[in-house]
Amino acid sequence: MMELLTAAQMRAIEHEAIESGEVTGLDLMERAGAGVVAAIFEEWPELERVGQEGGPEGGAAPDPADPPRGILGKMKVLVLCGPGNNGGDGFVVARLLQARGWQVDVFLYGNPIDLPPDAAENYRRWAAVGEVRTWNDREIRDLYEGDATSRFLVVDALFGTGLTRPMPDDTAEMWRGFMPSPIVSDGRDPGGDRFVAIDFPSGMCSDSGKDFGALPAHLTVTFHAAKIGHYMSLDCGSYGGSDNCGRLRVVDIGMTKTAAKGRVTLVEAGGVLGQTKRGGHKYNHGHALVLSGGHGKTGAARLAARGALRIGAGLVTLGSPRSAMFENAAQLTAIMLHQIDGAHGVSELLEDKRLNAVCLGPGLGRGMDTQAVVIAALKAQRATVLDADALTRFERNPQVLFDLLHEQCVLTPHGGEFAKLFPDLAAKLAQRPQTGPAYSKVDATREAAARAGCVVLFKGADTVIADPTGRCSVNSAQYDRAAPWLATAGAGDVLAGFITGLLARGMSPKAAAEAGAWLHVECAREFGPGLISEDLPEQLPAVLRRLERDG
């Protein structure tokens, strides 16, 4: 299970590892720097030839008469070291690359005598073999922009987990020079300069992913475990996001400890295994009820119902108002149809205890009835997924909803719906931060779950799932799991159906939310570009088969 850490947790783990004698701080820094160098060559194997005999000349002075050779031209390294241990990692990288024959320029932001001990030692080790240039952002810009014949490998070792405030003014000139460099969405830029961020792109908050003036990187190399900020995306009015990191690599630096408390985990395949049916009657796999909207507004509920059935609920019933019975009947086969009119009808039907999971919201409408229907369903104390209209209908009086929610419920808001139920938390999340660590989507979702008294799944490319006790996970559709095709009408309805189906099958609300969200992304990736919501449930058989095979 992969953990996502805060800066404080990372520091505590490091402290414990050093105190226990497992490792020294200097060892960690050396491994971190070596890990960055190894990651650079794994990412861009063609760079291995730089500085080596017969390869492009890392150390040669640029000759304007001599055009760039091949794809690399002449390659130079620019290492930007900051005043803390992130800068210390930068000195290690500079030393290791120079030892491979690269031409390396190092600038230090700050005073060498103020460096923390391990960074100071690595400053000395570098200073014994190379020059440390005094910080001057204009000079860095000139050095970078003034050399048209070389390609640069820029190593950003200015600030990592210790960033506490917006980027200083005297980095701005340099930033402006770098910014036009193409940062392509998958992080690869084989033809041009490469930007590598040590631990974090400087200016990015490690706890929230928010932007204090970050310089985007093609490759970000972090240590021991990813941090929460690496997985927070640009959604929900927050600033910054994982897009700044390019590709993310996590390097093992030999520490064995994990966060003691307040852990956030990344949802992974391991937590989803065992979802396929293992014998039993259809009644052993639960019976989900999905409520449909009225005439002309029935598609969303059918998408959810289809999702619930495909994910393995034994039976699925669509509860439809009279006005939509024909419309629904014309498009359903395996899914059963039952006429339900209003809150009274919901209460009556839920007297049947075999209906063990309910989904309300997709297409339910914002009419007078919706609140009463939701209240009736919640009073029946079933595992319940509330989405879309079932959430936004309580915009004016969320406390009415919170008072009725129970621990078997899952709320699945996207950013807009979240803001309607939790306006104060959404406002806090949207603020441009002035100090770090900044308030994150993880913080907001945890607070929301505590307030609601149930699981909250806050959607996005960085879906955050929290329960009222603070247990929290992130389902990421970023980096290698990017699924931009999921931004399509009705995808959220299918997700609500997936979670409802898993609840019907007896999973706990948090586990159902995590597995549903993970499978949802996998289905999108299985189908690929051109995806529409109807396709999502149809990918489940292939995804589940793959899980069985690889699990």
Ligand X SMILES: NC(=O)C1=CN([C@@H]2O[C@H](COP(=O)(O)OP(=O)(O)OC[C@H]3O[C@@H](n4cnc5c(N)ncnc54)[C@H](OP(=O)(O)O)[C@@H]3O)[C@@H](O)[C@H]2O)[C@@H](O)CC1
Burial of 55 (0-12, 13-18, 19+ CB in 10 A): middle
Range 150-189, binding K ion (CB under 5 A): 156, 160
- Judge whether 88 is annotated as a binding position: yes
3-class DSSP state of 288: strand
Q: Which of ligand X, K ion, none sits in contact with 162, Cβ below 5 to 8 A by type?
A: ligand X
What is the spatial distance between Cα 108 and Cα 125, in angstroms, rounded to a whole number? Answer: 14
Contact 308, 319 (CB under 8 A): no
CA-based radius of gyration for the chain = 27
Range 445-464, binding K ion (CB under 5 A): none
- Judge whether 460 is annotated as a binding position: yes
Strand-strand pairing, 264-266 and 3-4: antiparallel
Q: Which of ligand X, K ion, none sits in contact with 11, Cβ below 5 to 8 A by type?
A: ligand X
Report the nearest approach of K ion to the CB of residue 319 (Å): 54
**Amino acid identity, residue 450?**
A
- Judge whether 462 is annotated as a binding position: yes
What is the spatial distance between Cα 304 and Cα 446, in angstroms, rounded to a whole number? Answer: 26
Report the nearest approach of ligand X to the CB of residue 386 (Å): 40
Q: Could you write out the DSSP letters of every residue in 284-338? A: GG-EEEEE--STT--HHHHHHHHHHHHTT-SEEEEEE-GGGHHHHHTT-SSSEEE
Report the nearest approach of K ion to the CB of residue 41 (Å): 19
Q: Which of K ion, ligand X, none sits in contact with 161, Cβ below 5 to 8 A by type?
A: ligand X
Contact 208, 237 (CB under 8 A): no
135 vs 498, which CB is nearer to ligand X? 135
35 vs 516, which CB is nearer to ligand X? 35
Q: Which of ligand X, K ion, none sits in contact with 10, Cβ below 5 to 8 A by type?
A: ligand X
Q: State the first-to-last Cα distance of the chain, in angstroms, to the nearest integer.
A: 14
160 vs 537, which CB is nearer to K ion? 160
- Judge whether 482 is annotated as a binding position: no
> Which position has the token pair 């999905």?
290
Report the nearest approach of ligand X to the CB of residue 111 (Å): 10
Which positions lie near ligand X, rule CB under 6 A?
Answer: 10-11, 14, 28-29, 32, 82-89, 116, 159-168, 198-199, 223, 253
Q: Which of K ion, ligand X, none sits in contact with 59, Cβ below 5 to 8 A by type?
A: none
> Which position has the token pair 């100090």?
435
Report the nearest approach of K ion to the CB of residue 100 (Å): 21
What is the spatial distance between Cα 225 and Cα 126, in angstroms, rounded to a whole number? Answer: 27
What is the spatial distance between Cα 500 and Cα 225, in angstroms, rounded to a whole number? Answer: 32
What is the spatial distance between Cα 358 and Cα 366, in angstroms, rounded to a whole number? Answer: 18
- Judge whether 156 is annotated as a binding position: yes
89 sits near K ion (criterion: CB under 5 A): no
Report the nearest approach of K ion to the CB of residue 148 (Å): 26
171: DSSP letter: G
Q: What does the angle CA 86 – CA 88 – CA 93 come to, to the nearest 5 degrees?
A: 95
Report the nearest approach of ligand X to the CB of residue 388 (Å): 40
Question: Contact with K ion (CB under 5 A): which of 78, 104, 106, 198?
Answer: 198
- Judge whether 416 is annotated as a binding position: no
Q: Which of K ion, ligand X, none sits in contact with 14, Cβ below 5 to 8 A by type?
A: ligand X
- Judge whether 89 is annotated as a binding position: yes
Report the nearest approach of ligand X to the CB of residue 438 (Å): 12
Helix H or strand E segment including 117: helix 117-127
How far is C-alpha 169 from the chain's CA centre?
Answer: 30
28 vs 266, which CB is nearer to ligand X? 28
228 vs 502, which CB is nearer to ligand X? 228
Q: Which of K ion, ligand X, none sits in contact with 431, Cβ below 5 to 8 A by type?
A: none
Residue 297 main-chain phi, psi, to 5 deg = -130, 45
3-class DSSP state of 224: coil
Q: Which of K ion, ligand X, none sits in contact with 171, Cβ below 5 to 8 A by type?
A: none
Report the nearest approach of ligand X to the CB of residue 378 (Å): 45
Q: Is the dihedral of CA 336, 340, 344, 346 positive or negative?
A: positive
Tokens at 549, concatenated:
């095979």
Residue among 85, 105, 100, 94 at smallest CA distance from 158: 85
Contact 536, 523 (CB under 8 A): yes
- Judge whether 133 is annotated as a binding position: no
Q: Which of ligand X, K ion, none sits in contact with 327, Cβ below 5 to 8 A by type?
A: none
What is the spatial distance between Cα 487 and Cα 472, in angstroms, rounded to a whole number? Answer: 24
What is the spatial distance between Cα 83 and Cα 115, in angstroms, rounded to a whole number? Answer: 6
> Which position has the token pair 């003036």?
213
Report the nearest approach of K ion to the CB of residue 222 (Å): 10
Q: Which of K ion, ligand X, none sits in contact with 202, Cβ below 5 to 8 A by type?
A: K ion
Question: Contact with K ion (CB under 5 A): which of 150, 202, 222, 356?
Answer: 202
Annotated binding site for AMP: 459-463, 492
Annotated binding site for (6S)-NADPHX: 85-89, 160-166, 199, 300, 363, 414, 493
Annotated binding site for K(+): 86, 156, 202
Footprint on this chain of K ion (rule: CB under 5 A): 156, 160, 197-198, 202
Annotated binding site: 85-89, 156, 160-166, 199, 202, 300, 363, 414, 459-463, 492-493
